[in-house]
Structure 1
C-alpha cells in the first residue's frame, strides 16, 4: 500500500480489525473512511466522495456490490475486476489477529486468461508475515496432506500473532490447540505451488443440516473419505457400518471440530 492511501472500511471494528490495519494506514499517512451502514449505495458514494484507493470487505459485501446471482458468484474476483476493482484475497480470524493468509500475486500470472486469474485469486494463498507456519493436516494423524490440490485436511496455524487461548475457558483452549497447532476447523487443500485453498468447515455442514433436519438426523461429525468399494464398483456397506461403529468411540479431541 502506498502512502496517502484512502481506505474504506466495510468490516466491524469491535474485534481485531480495530487494533490492526487502521493504525497501519495512519502510520502511512493514509485516511480511514468508516461506514455506519454497509450498503452498495454507501460504498459507491464513499468511493466517489473520498476518492477511495483501497477497501476491505467480506465476500458477502463484494457480492452485494456486484449483485450477482448465486450461480455467478464464483469465482468472485472475476466479477469485481470487471467493475474496476483489483481484488486481493486474505483469510483469517480474530484468533490469528485477523489476516492469517494472503493470496500474493505472482507476475507470471499476468498473462493468464481472466478466468484463470480469478481462480488463482480466489485461493486463500500463503501465510501472512506474522504467522510462523501455515499447514493443511490430516485431522487425526496431524500429518501434512500432499500438495496435490485434492487431499483434504484441516487448516492449522502457528505463530506469534496467534492467540494464547480463550479467556477463562481452559477446555476450549485445549481443544483449539490440540496437537500443538491452532485448529480453525475449516477444511482445505494444498496446491503444488504452496498456496492453500480453504473450503467449507465441518461445523458449517452440521449447522446447515440442523437448519433443515430434525435434531436426531443432523450429523454430529463429518468425515471426508473415499467410499470403500468392491472390485466391481459396489459400495461395501458393511465396511461403512464398521467405521460408523468405531467412530462412536472418537472424542472431540481426536476429530477436532469436525
Structure 2
C-alpha cells in the first residue's frame, strides 16, 4: 500500500501561488471593488461610498496605520457605533496583518481600560460619541496608545489624540502595497466576551475562520448582489457576526445605524428597501411593540436573523404579522457568532400556528461552514439520543471555532475539550436533527428533585397578553430547595396583571411544579448585547 508522497496524485501536484492562497476576508473587498466598482457599498445618512471608494479608504487607512508603526500582530482597537469607519477597520487592519479589537461601546471605563491593557492595544480609533468614556478609560491605562479621533457633528468633543481620522486617511498612500497574510491561521480579531463575573475573556479569531464564517452567514441568510443590509446588530459583537465581510462578499449594500431606535429602523427599511437585518430578541420586541406613529409602511418582506437568548414563539408571531420573516440562529462569541440555523421546512406551513412558531424557535442544525454540532453528555462526551427529551450539552466543531482565549490557557482548555468546543448550553436533540436549548447549565432550576427549564417557563409567560419579556431564575426555598421566580417586563401601556391570574394562566399550560411561586414586575436588566442579566436577578431573588 503506497502512502508516501511518490503517489501520482501527490507527485508534482504541489501548492503554487496560482492555486493556493491563504483565506482572508480582505479578498472579498478587492474582488467587489474590481467587479462592482461603481456600486454603492455603504450608506450612512448623506454619506455614500462605492466599492471603489471603500477599497480606497481602506487602503489609505492601512497605509496610515503602517506609518504610525503598526506591524504584524499589533493590536488596533476601535470603539465606535455602526458607522462606515467600523466597516473600514474590518478590512484595513487585517490588510497589514494586525489584529482588530472592536470594543463594546456599552462597557464602563474600567472594562474598556482592562481590554486595552490585556489586548496590548497600540492604536485606538475613537468615535467622538464615546470620547468621554475613553478619556476616563485612558486615565487607567499605563501604556502609550496612539489615539485616532473620528469626528461626529452630533458629538462635538475635544480631540483625545494627535490624529484625526479623515486627515490620516488623506495622508495614506492610495497605492500602498499592503502585505496581507501568508498564514490563514494568523490572528485577525480579538473580541471580549461580556462576562458577568470576573474579567472578560479575549476570544481570538483567525483569517481562515472569519473568511468561512462570512461565507456561511451569507449563504444561510440568502445574501445576494441585491441585498440591502441594515446594521441593527452591534459590529463590536462577534465582529457583527462576520457581516462586515459577508455583505461585501455578496456585493450587497450596508446601511449604517448609530442607535437602535424603532422609528429610525422602520424609516430606513422603507427608504432603502432594506432586505436583511440581524438583532437580539430584544430588538425584535422593540420593533413588534413600536407605537403605530413610529412605523413607516413598507410593502416587501424583510428577512431577519435573531440570536442570543432563545426567543419565545410569540416573537415570531408578532414579527411575521408586521412584515418580517425571522430565522433563529444560535452561537457564541467563541463560534464567530452563529453556529446553527433553524432552517424552515416547507411542511411546517401545514402545522397549526402555535406548533409552527414553536418549531421556528428551535436552535436548528449546523451552519454550512460548521463541521459538526452535537448534543452530548459532558461527562462521557457521548451523544444523547435524538428523542427530543434527553438533555445534554451543545458542542461545536469546525473552522469557525475560536483559536482560543488570549493569555488564558486554563479557560481555553476548559472550553476546547477533545474534538469539541463546549457551549455550557443544555439542549435536547430532536429526531429531525434540530437541537432545542432547554437552559444554560447554571440556569436549570431543581425544585424538590425535579428539573425545571427556565426557558420553558419563560415561553409560557410570554404568551400572556400583558407580558413582553420574562426571565425565570431559582429562588431558595426551605422546603423545595429552590422554586421558580419570574421577573416580568410588561408591554408598553399594559396594566400590571393580578398575580393569581398569571399563576392560573401558567397552571393551565404547564405542570404545577414548574409554575412560578414568585412574580416580580419591572424592566429587566440587560447586558450590552441585549441579553438579560440573570445573575443580577438571581441575587435579587435570593434577597426576596
TM tier, smaller: 0.7 to 0.9
Q: With the length of structure 1 as denominator, give the TM-score of the two structures.
A: 0.75
Aligned to 1:229: none
8 Å contact kept, 1:187–1:202? yes
Deviations 1:88-145 (A, max 9, x none): 1111122111110011112222332332221111111000112111011112222111
Report deviation, 1:84: 1.3
Flag structure 2 segments of 5+ consecutive residues without an equivalent.
Answer: 1-222, 291-310, 444-532
- TM-score in terms of structure 2 length: 0.37
Maintained 8 Å contact 1:186/1:200: yes
Q: How does 1:14-163 map to 2 (within 5 A)?
A: 14-18=236-240, 20-67=242-289, 73-163=312-402
Partner Cα distance (2:378, 2:349) in 1: 36
Secondary structure of the corresponding residue to residue 89 of structure 1: strand
CA apart distance, 1:10: 1.1
Per the alignment, do residues 66 and 5 of structure 1 end up closer, same or farther by CA in structure 2, a change over 3 Å counting? Answer: same
- Structure 2 residue corresponding to 1:184, chosen from 398, 413, 423: 423
Distance 1:18 1:206, change over 3 A: closer
SS at match of 1:86: strand
What is the distance in 2 between the residues matched to 1:173 and 1:80?
38
SS class of match (1:187): strand
Residue 232 of structure 1 aligns with which residue? none
Summarize the alignment of residues 1-20 of structure 1 with structure 2, pairs less than 5 Å apart.
1-18=223-240, 20=242
CA distance in 2, matches of 1:142, 1:206: 28
**What is the aligned partner in structure 1 of residue 414 from structure 2?**
175
Greater RCO (CA < 8 Å, at least 6 residues apart):
1
Q: Distance in 2 between matches of 1:52 and 1:77?
A: 19
Checking the alignment, whether the CA contact within 8 Å between 1:9 and 1:32 is kept in structure 2 is yes
Contact 2:241 2:338 in 1 (8 A): no
Equivalent pair of 1:148/1:192 in contact (CA under 8 Å): yes
Check the 8 A contact 1:165/1:173 in 2, yes or no. yes
**In the aligned structure 1, how far is the partner of 2:316 from the partner of 2:534?**
28
Q: State which drifts further: 198-207 or 136-145.
A: 198-207
| Misfit runs of 4+, over 6 Å | none
**Does the 8 Å contact 2:229/2:252 carry over to 1?**
yes
* Alpha-carbon distance between aligned partners in 1 of 2:267 and 2:237, rounded to the nearest angstrom: 26
Conserved 8 A contact 2:426-2:439: yes
- The structure richer in strand per residue is 2
Q: Which residue, 203, 207, 211 being the options, matches 2:535?
A: 207
What count of residue pairs does the alignment treat as equivalent?
212
Question: Which residue number in structure 1 is paired with residue 217 of structure 2?
Answer: none
Post-superposition offset of 1:160: 1.0
> 1 CA distance for matches of 2:376 and 2:385?
9
Bigger CA radius of gyration: 2
**Aligned partners of 1:39 and 1:46: how far apart in 2?**
11
Query: 1:201-240 counterparts in 2 under 5 A?
Result: 201-204=440-443, 207=535, 210-212=538-540
RMSD value, Cα: 2.3
Which whole-Å deviations, capped at 9, do the CAs of 1:159-183 have from their partners, x for residues lacking one? 1110121011011001112343111
Q: Structure 1: 5+ residue runs without aligned partners?
A: 216-258
Aligned to 1:194: 433
Q: Distance in 2 between matches of 1:96 and 1:4?
A: 28
Q: Say if 1:63 and 1:73, in contact at 8 Å, map to a contact too.
A: no
Q: Determine the C-alpha separation between the residues in 1 that align with 2:323 and 2:280.
A: 18
CA contact (8 A) 1:153 1:189 kept: yes
Contact 1:152 1:188 (C-alpha < 8 Å) held by counterparts: yes
Report Cα offsets for 1:23-62 as digits up to 9, x if no partner.
Answer: 2212322111121110211211111121111111111111
